[in-house]
Structure 1
Amino acid sequence: MTVVVKIGGARAVDPEGALADIAALIDGGTDVAVVHGGSTAVDDALERMGIEPEYVETPSGVVGRFTDTETMDVFKMAMAGRVNTDLVTGLQNQGVDAVGLSGVDGGLFTGPRKSAVRVLEDGKRKIRRGDHSGTIEDVNGELLETLLADGYTPVASPPMLADDGVAVNTDADRASAAVAAELGAALVSLTDVSGVYRDPDDPATRIDRVGTPEAYEELQAAAEGFMNRKVMAATEALEGGASGVVIADANAEEPIRSALDGAGTHVFPDALE
């Protein structure tokens, strides 16, 4: 069995429980690949340099970072220099032979660069140029499988390598989906809430199982804000061949194993039929 674990970059996410759980899964014979975000670390680094982080909303309601040249330089520094190194260090301290990778290493994540992005500003649709971002079309699965077969745990993150040979930002949720699809794995997406809620302010309204097209429509309707990206990523993972997706609480006890055992919001391939 292979599990892809996406560790979110929100400020409220404490990765320590996930790192211990990854070690336990590996000890039990499960292959684990890790993909992480780092939005908080990037924002903190930008602010220390006196640069205001900029987020834009697409016409479909998805909120994402606008990454200009200056932001991209900080992004690379924060993701590889801090977040990835910290997670790899934490896994090594758990006895896991972890290997840190950016999406550029070995052409792990490749695809087209966006020449422009469509955004919604003050209710009006506009075109913004100068964004350093792209969409993953290919994952070097051979690299990941080689590492896993040799007993190493890959810990990967954006940036990706764009088709024009430039390192650009890409969404970490969708990167984890692409990895899960490539490996035919289960995806456990850890975040700062316990799943997708029908009412965003009420954890008691969590959607537990999504196994029919009707339940999937309900899931899409419930997803708001950052959860839009996670549902989009779940869709892409399942369409690409992932065995299942769970959106769960990173701060729960044994967060990955509890998610695999039923906690969180589970989305099954049958939901897309």
Structure 2
Amino acid sequence: MIIFKIGGGQSINLKGIAEDLAALNEPKIVVHGANALRDELSEKLGISKKVVTSVSGYASVFSDSKAIDVMMMAYAGLRNKRLVELLQSQGVNAIGLSGLDGCLIQGQRNRGIRVKENGKIKILRDFSGKPRAVNKTLLTVLLEQGYLPVITVPIADENGFAINSENDDIVALLQSALQATTIVQLIEAPGFLENPSDPDSVISRLTIRELRMREQQSAGRIKRKLHALVKIFENGKPRVIIADGRVEHPVKNALNKKGTVIQ
């Protein structure tokens, strides 16, 4: 079992990914983002994106009701169905699902995000939360019947309402439930970079211990992503590959270890 996490950047080569996945005869699941498309739609609709950073140093997108609407349009709507379309055109019987569908991914809504504003601690409440459970029965049936699940947000909260969640956390939860042997993350970079501004500073290999150290030393958005990567190894010992999603053959290159391998 391989879990593919496809980044939501504008330059990700979705067509190349679809072509590569069509040639891969192994059980697989896709989890995808759509952040660039979300930002584009937000701008057209006049809805500004708000990023907040908790007192513990983790950054996230503040998800009010308007943000959830835009997310549904971008993630579960346009990006999900276009990706399914590309896969179907390559002969892959893909099925697009949000975590809300069939309660595929159920989470717990956040009680509040503790932030510091003007020297004071403030609690912000929104429609976001952590994924807690996977409808493994539904996924198993789909996989056994030859479908490729293509999954994205929103997920369902404990009362069945749509909430935003981090795809990195969803991948970690799927890994725990399905015990995938490999997780491939396709991003807008050649791999995990020592220096984010230098594309030639790819770290070819990282140990889990080194990953934990880097999480402790980081802040903001990257801290959250590193934390989710660390969680992947809490309930299994998969191989994680972070590779370039912009190249001609993103999946083939990744499986040939062209990027960063974490083990």
TM-score by length of 2: 0.91
Residue identity over aligned pairs, in percent, reads 38
Q: CA, structure 1 residues 180+212, in 2 after alignment: closer, same or farther (shift >3 Å)?
A: closer
Q: How much does 1:52 deviate?
A: 0.9
Alpha-carbon separation, structure 1, partners of 2:257 and 2:241: 9
The 5 Å alignment of 1:1-273 reads 2-25=1-24, 29-121=25-117, 125-129=121-125, 131-185=126-180, 186-211=182-207, 213=209, 215-220=210-215, 225-241=220-236, 243-268=238-263
Alpha-carbon separation, structure 2, partners of 1:60 and 1:265: 27
Q: Look up the equivalent residue of 2:176 and give its one-letter code.
A: A
Q: How much does 1:184 deviate?
A: 1.0
TM-score by length of 1: 0.88
Q: How much does 1:78 deviate?
A: 2.1
Alpha-carbon separation, structure 1, partners of 2:262 and 2:232: 10
Q: Report if the CA contact (8 A) 1:246-1:259 is conserved.
A: yes
SS at match of 2:131: coil
Q: How much does 1:240 deviate?
A: 2.4
Alpha-carbon separation, structure 1, partners of 2:7 and 2:119: 29
The Cα RMSD (Å) is 2.0
Alpha-carbon separation, structure 2, partners of 1:12 and 1:3: 23
Q: Report if the CA contact (8 A) 2:212-2:230 is conserved.
A: no
Alpha-carbon separation, structure 2, partners of 1:232 and 1:212: 11
Q: How much does 1:37 deviate?
A: 1.0
**Partner deviation per Cα, 1:93-142 (whole Å, 9 max, x = no partner):** 1110000101011111112101211234467643212x100100111122
Alpha-carbon separation, structure 1, partners of 2:118 and 2:11: 29
Q: Report if the CA contact (8 A) 1:100-1:156 is conserved.
A: yes
Q: CA, structure 1 residues 21+113, in 2 after alignment: closer, same or farther (shift >3 Å)?
A: same
Q: Report if the CA contact (8 A) 1:159-1:169 is conserved.
A: yes
Q: Look up the equivalent residue of 2:29 and give its one-letter code.
A: A
Q: How much does 1:71 deviate?
A: 1.5
Alpha-carbon separation, structure 2, partners of 1:249 and 1:122: 40
Q: Report if the CA contact (8 A) 1:198-1:222 is conserved.
A: no
Q: Look up the equivalent residue of 1:49 and give its one-letter code.
A: L
Report what 1:271 is aligned to. none
Q: Report if the CA contact (8 A) 2:13-2:247 is conserved.
A: no
For this pair of structures, how many residues does the alignment match? 262
Q: Report if the CA contact (8 A) 1:181-1:242 is conserved.
A: no
Q: Look up the equivalent residue of 2:44 and give its one-letter code.
A: R
Task: Point out where structure 1 has 5 or more consecutive residues left out of the alignment.
Answer: 269-273
Q: Report if the CA contact (8 A) 1:110-1:160 is conserved.
A: yes
SS at match of 1:84: helix
Task: Point out where structure 2 has 5 or more consecutive residues left out of the alignment.
Answer: none
Alpha-carbon separation, structure 1, partners of 2:138 and 2:239: 22
